[in-house]
Amino acid sequence: MSQFNLTFQEDPEQIFDIVSILGQGNYGKVFKGIHKLTQKEYAIKVILVSEDIFQINKEVQILKNCHHDNIVGYFGTFYKENAIWLITEYCEGGSTLNLQKVLKRNFTEQEISSIINQALNGLIYLHENKIIHRDIKAGNILLNQNGEIKLADFGVAAQQIYTNAEKQTVMGTPYWMSPEVLGNQKYTNKTDIWSLGITAIELAEGEPPYSHIHPFRAMFAIKKQPPQGLSNGKQWSDIFNDFVKKCLILDFNERPSAKELIQHQFIIQSNNYCHQILSDLIVENIEYIEQYKLQNLYIIKQFLYYFIK
């Protein structure tokens, strides 16, 4: 994967055409950009430098050092006036969150197994490299046209070499946060496992547990109430229910690791079809996916005019 030769003097707007909006990440908006010379497509995260520069730099460093099929690829960084342009791999299918909106339905059990299967492989790589993502959710799980899942948005990720004080800071998205994080205990890679279990519910039901109440109330409920599994467990297989249950074990010391969960029957069942089933899903719906991305062209123009010019 080649990287651009970037300098502070280069103007990214002379190199890329911004053609659609892909979503909102931590610390910035994410756009689809086309390299004017090669016509290759990229995802471009535009971050205002008024944001937490330490977190921005950390995201860049983590992406730079990660090389795995299930982690979004990094190509380089541009600086223009008051903004940083972070150039990463473009995923045609967008996020699993947006794909749910395009499909106007929730995912099937086979599709969920295929998504979580590959997400676990990405987490195994991160955890072996002492990186905690800290914000696993459907909006941060991307798909490309080959049916590959890519973990993205490392804006609040942490490397375990950083200080304990930082690892104890509550970061992430409330509905996906683990009880131990909300209880001000130290972050471990097991918090990603909890978030993955909540994401599995989100993929199955369209929303995470407690999404109907205010985030602050949800945080209190997650910390104090028993774990919420699939709301209609009878609709799903025993192995899916068991997988979610294991991800949401309250005691993080007892919660399985990503390496252990990859051996769960719910995951093993999709080993032979996880790429094909997702690739077919993207190919069949690519026209609707592109239409969805183009709905927000006005937002692009306004954002670039007011914050980048």
Bind-site residues for ATP: 45
Nearest CA among 303, 282, 299 for reference residue 115? 282
CA atoms of 125 and 131, how far apart (whole Å): 9
Decide if 135 is catalytic.
yes
Residue 200, burial from CB neighbour count under 10 angstroms (0-12, 13-18, 19+): buried
Residue with tokens 């309250």: 250
CA atoms of 70 and 273, how far apart (whole Å): 16
State the catalytic residue, choosing from 17, 52, 69, 135.
Answer: 135
Both tokens of residue 198? 């909540």
Contact assessment for residue 132 and residue 191, using Cβ atoms and an 8 Å cutoff: yes
| Coil/strand/helix, residue 29 | strand
| Coil/strand/helix, residue 231 | coil
HSE (CB half, 13 Å, CA atoms) of 105?
8
Both tokens of residue 48? 């205002």
Contact assessment for residue 179 and residue 226, using Cβ atoms and an 8 Å cutoff: no
CA atoms of 232 and 24, how far apart (whole Å): 30
Catalytic center residues: 135
